[in-house]
Amino acid sequence: MSAIASQLSPDADLDWWRGGVIYQVYPRSFQDTSGDGIGDLNGITERLPYIASLGVDAIWISPFFTSPMRDFGYDVSDYRDVDPMFGTLADFDRLVAAAHRLGLRIMIDLVLSHSSDQHCWFQESRSSRTNAKADWYVWADAKPDGTPPNNWLSIFGGTAWHWDPRRMQYFLHNFLTTQPDLNFHSAEVQDALLDVARFWLDRGVDGFRLDVINFYFADRHLRDNPPLPPEKRNAQIAPAVNPYNYQEHLHSKNQPENLVFLKRFRDLLDEYPGTAAVGEVGDAQYGMELLGQYTRKGQGVQMCYAFDFLSGSGLTARRVTEVFRHMEAAAPEGWACWALSNHDVTRHVSRWNLDEQGARCYATLLQCLRGSVCLYQGEELGLTEARVAYEDLRDPYGIEFWPEYVGRDGCRTPMVWEASNVNGGFSTARPWLPTAAEHLGRAVGLQEARDDALLHHYRRIIALRNGSPALRQGAQTDMQAEGDLLHFVRELDGERWFCAFNLGSETASLHPPDGIWAFMPGVGGTDPGRVLGGGGMRLGPWHYTLLKSM
């Protein structure tokens, strides 16, 4: 165990992740200290006191590894170094040490399913069919007519196969053509990737966010995917205009061999007590089932998140109950990490057209649900999806499908720290993406000065969750949807909460369960002082109440 890793308190909770709150930082857009318009590791270190002030347990940092940046860091060319635009390994070490002094854990984003085509592994693999790394990537011969070996599609559009004239074969890429898929059927590949994880664990990281965890293995026999009936298609993983939604991806991902590799990954984590991993499950049809498989106790990662609350469909009371009932049936022992926004989807305030009260309601709901929580930078400010002109787009996904789908740049614009300049305190130079003018009025500096600001609401509800074993790790029972009204009970070791949320635009009537309940002031919500007949109460549109059993 490294000296950096040991700086956290020795009596720290080894199961901190269970019910923990994780704050996602997209480093390109968080804070620039070098003056090049791109955020960096030193910028994160500079802003650590702000993150700690939120009360979160950990920070998830999106990729900062050496990369040609075709997919902004999710195409890694060196897993063991920092890209110069973000800083150095020494900068990273200082970041980890500073975070640990503040009681924050650091989780880094490991992209294991694929690398950059500039990675030395791929450069060697493509050089011949007989070199030492010839089978480190997924290669296949063309069909007799020269077409790709099967019908698999790329999430970024078109076929998932790209012809390489050196090997006279196709290689698999589930994403960009510059992101070739590694061959996890090779034991050497697995060993090399586990060594990468060990490298960062020895440097002091407290865990990982595992990108597209269900994409690691492809079918050995490269069988065609069957078509997906139109009534089963949804746009959770890819935009509706993408033909990727037309297939049931039975063979290009979600393979059973993944469970064996995840057990090896878990065994490695267990060598470093207190570390944890959260896996991103990228599947629109089987996400919850995979979550259950991948988070089995001691057999896989500690937690996973699917896209149930990240999709474009409204998060209604009925939808929440359906998700949890599905989880109870498909993953009764699984552990979810819930998120409303991240770097890949439209910010939820815009996605669901929320006003200030709606944003408070959903933020509170997220902190009351059973599971862990991921917050995305700027979510605590109520940032909307930024409008980015076509000429300013950087995301290859958006450029490919524009204007029907404008890509992910709108949720990746710079963090706004102050309203005194056009760059929001992010950089002294022109940012890599324009700072959204509409965000300046929600800058951190302005909200710090207002006790009623959304930023302070996030702090209060996170503090409430942290101070309540029942809300953090307790059971969740009696979840019901009555029209737009959602309510449920959280309880643990005699502590019991009744949580109710009106997720609609009309006033709703509510009758708490029998018992003596005390309203918890300080986190907003409706005080049930207006008693109706039989001890009931009313919740206005987008209002909520949190009652604790006495």
Residue 335 CA, chain-centre distance (Å), reads 14
Instruction: Give the closest residue to 20 by CA, choosing from 87, 98, 110, 103.
Output: 103
CA-CA-CA-CA torsion for 65, 68, 70, 73, nearest 10 degrees?
10
User: Could you tell me which residues come within 8 angstroms of residue 482 by beta carbon, excluding any fewer than 6 positions away?
Assistant: 317, 508
Q: Which residues of 93-128 are buried (b: 16+ CB within 10 A; e: fewer)?
A: bbbbbbbbeeebbbbbbbbbbbbbbbbebbeebbee
Structure tokens at 34: 């070098």
* Helix, strand, coil % in the chain, rounded to nearest 5: 30, 20, 50
130: which 2 tokens?
């007989």
Rounding to the nearest 10 degrees, give the CA dihedral for residues 282, 285, 287, 290: -110
Q: What is the identity of the amino acid at 197?
A: A
DSSP class of residue 159 equals: B
CA distance 360 to 345: 20
Catalytically annotated residues: 211, 271
